[in-house]
Amino acid sequence: MTESVPGEGTVEIPLADMVNAVRDLNEYVVSLDRILSRIGTGGKSPEILLQYIVDRNVLRRIADLRTVVCDALEDRIGEEAVDEIADGAYFYTD
């Protein structure tokens, strides 16, 4: 799905931040796949998902990654445009 985004060009993110982002994202994809597979086969309780999120500080790390990306976008397209993009995201509700 391609959305219209204000402006064109590139966004600069420091190399160290990108290296950390790739490591974190790879950890999440691989770990969540493994955890959900084990839960799905009945080999583990769903509690292992919560334990992973807490033990690995996943929420804080994702929030840090969001800050890096949003700051880089704000430098390119402005805070208001980034807020609009973020507001258009899916949010879980009961």
- Span 67-88, pLDDT tens digits: 999 999 999 999 999 999 999 9
pLDDT band for position 5 (cuts 50, 70, 90): low
- Does the pLDDT of residue 6 top 70, yes or no? no
Q: Dihedral angle at the C-alpha atoms of 56, 61, 29, 44, nearest 10 degrees?
A: 30
